[in-house]
Amino acid sequence: MQLPTPVYKPAFNITRASHLVSRVRDLGASRAFYCDLLGLVVSDETADTLWLRGLEEACHHSLVLKVGEQPAAERIGMRVLTEEDLDLVQAHFAAAGFPTAFVEVPYQGRTLHTTDPAGTPLEFCATMEPRERLFAHADRYHGACALRLDHFQIVTPQVRESLDFYNGMGFRLSEYVMAKGSLEMVFLQRKGNPHDIVFANRAGPRLHHCAYQVPETHHLMHVCDLFVVKDREGQVEFGPARHFSPGLARFLYLRDPDGHRVELFPSHYHTIDIEDAPVEWEAPAFKVGGWIVPPDRWWNDTMAFAPR
């Protein structure tokens, strides 16, 4: 299979996966999951919205939870470096035929709403209100001690189209999975570790998961213990184990009270230099010692994006 030629100097600088906006039914239940168990901290809250960030995050939010009648993913957020980059991203999406609109979003600078070829609702911003990094505040560490948002995984039949489109915006292909000659998964990154966004071949567009980095492997085990003592072990879906597959990270997948899937992992590798070529895998690519295959619901139970 011919891979696209990497674009090392794109016309604009998208820097990283930044934040997720989701809808939940009960903010109290969500707060217990994300704050008491995962360890995120509250930056702000109202009666119908919770803005959360990880312990090392220096901006206002990486997760926005809004009360809705039905659980849904609303939008994934990415950062660009400058306001000029934001205008160039808008022009790029508009020229490609996608709807674009600048909107007001609390705690964020000028924000661009658009969609990608898979139909994923996206928002880009160059600035967000700063908040103190709490990673030196040992008294704030609890639960899984989630540090920062790392990446998103989207399911869509448009894996090849997504690869080509994101490659054209300067995303580097770190790893990919082939299944009997067709492209099954692509791992795309801007920030220099294996992925900011992953596209996997399933009906979509739907959100598969977001992922937070935690400090150490033992935090994966500790949070499992917490789920057991709180009689919530049914929300532990897959892991803890290691991906002997794309990313090579140790991992744990959890489901929040509304079914949103969150991955926790303690480590990733750098993939930055010009020699770092994409790594090819053949599905099934989830080998751990013997074969650890995700449960069917890991593949097939995903979150719809809210109608817009």
Minimum distance between the CB of residue 277 and Fe ion, rounded to whole angstroms? 21
Half-sphere exposure at residue 164, Cβ-oriented, CA atoms within 13 angstroms:
8
Q: Which residues have a Cβ under 8 Å from the Cβ of 202 and sit 6 or more positions away?
A: 155, 156, 157, 208, 299, 300, 302
Distance CA 266, CA 215 (A): 6
Which C-beta is closer to Fe ion: that of 32 or that of 236? Answer: 236
Which C-beta is closer to Fe ion: that of 79 or that of 151? Answer: 151
Q: Which residues have a Cβ under 8 Å from the Cβ of 177 and sit 6 or more positions away?
A: 183, 184, 185, 186, 245, 246, 280, 281, 282, 283, 285
Dig out the tokens for 129 from the structure: 């209100």
* Binding of Fe ion by 76 (CB under 5 A): no
Which C-beta is closer to Fe ion: that of 128 or that of 211? Answer: 211
Minimum distance between the CB of residue 151 and Fe ion, rounded to whole angstroms? 6
Q: Are 249 and 231 in contact (CB under 8 A)?
A: no
Dig out the tokens for 199 from the structure: 């596209």
Site for Fe ion in 207-266 (CB under 5 A): 211, 263
Distances in whole angstroms, Cα of residue 195 to Cα of each of 8, 30, 49, 119, 143: 16, 26, 28, 19, 25
Q: Are 296 and 286 in contact (CB under 8 A)?
A: no
Q: Which stretch binds Fe ion (CB under 5 A): 78-86, 205-213, 230-238, 293-301?
A: 205-213
> By rule CB under 5 A, what string of x and - marks binding of each residue 100-139 to Fe ion?
----------------------------------------
Site for Fe ion in 259-298 (CB under 5 A): 263
Which C-beta is closer to Fe ion: that of 150 or that of 258? Answer: 150
Which C-beta is closer to Fe ion: that of 80 or that of 207? Answer: 207
**DSSP character at residue 139:** G
**Taking the CA atoms of the chain, what radius of gyration do you get in angstroms?**
18
Which C-beta is closer to Fe ion: that of 85 or that of 263? Answer: 263
Query: Which is nearest to 76 in space by CA: 195, 160, 177, 157?
Result: 195
Distance CA 138, CA 102 (A): 39
Minimum distance between the CB of residue 166 and Fe ion, rounded to whole angstroms? 16
Minimum distance between the CB of residue 206 and Fe ion, rounded to whole angstroms? 15
Minimum distance between the CB of residue 243 and Fe ion, rounded to whole angstroms? 8
Minimum distance between the CB of residue 296 and Fe ion, rounded to whole angstroms? 18
Minimum distance between the CB of residue 252 and Fe ion, rounded to whole angstroms? 11
Which C-beta is closer to Fe ion: that of 10 or that of 77? Answer: 77
Residue numbers at the binding site for Fe ion (CB under 5 A): 211, 263
